[in-house]
Amino acid sequence: MLRMMTLLAIVLSLAGGFAPANAASTAKQPTMAQAHRVHVIVIVIDKMAYGPMPTGVRAGDIIEWTNHDILEHSATARDGSFDVDLKPGASGRITATAGSVTFFCKFHPTMTATLVIE
């Protein structure tokens, strides 16, 4: 009889009709990685200008600058929170933090942009 009950419990469990007594406590809660999937956001530098600023950037996303020019550039935050040097053809990354950040090229100060991070 015990063997038959064990077999029945296994069959019901596999069929989804049997839940352990502590099922509520073992339910998986979403983790931060599941709640917000990290994206890599690419900003291209070309013809002495930063490309269009992306929208929907969230804290934790990766911001990548890619220099398509033949000159060296940078992405330097006005508040000093980052300073990414970019040789011709190079890329550099930071992890985004919430807020609005204005950045510029320290080699060409007229190159400026503002990125809004949720």
Please tell me the pTM assigned to this model. Answer: 0.69
Residue 22 lies in a domain: no
Question: Is 60 exceeded by the pLDDT of residue 12?
Answer: no
DSSP codes, 45-103: EETTEE-PPPSS--TTPEEEEEE-SSS-EEEEETTSS-EEEE-TT-EEEEE--SEEEEE
Q: How many domains does the chain fold into?
A: 1
Residue 19 lies in a domain: no
Residue 60 lies in a domain: yes
pLDDT band for position 16 (cuts 50, 70, 90): very low
What percentage of residues in the chain have a pLDDT greater than 70? 70
**CA-atom Rg of the chain in angstroms:** 25
Residue 8 lies in a domain: no
> Range of 54's domain?
39-117
Assign residue 108 the CATH number of its domain: 2.60.40.420
Residue 89 lies in a domain: yes
What lies within 8 Å, CB to CB, of 65 at 6+ separation is 42, 43, 44, 45, 50, 73, 75, 84, 86, 91, 92, 93
- Tens digit of pLDDT for each residue in 46-96? 999 999 999 999 999 999 999 999 999 999 999 999 999 999 999 999 999
Residue 96 lies in a domain: yes
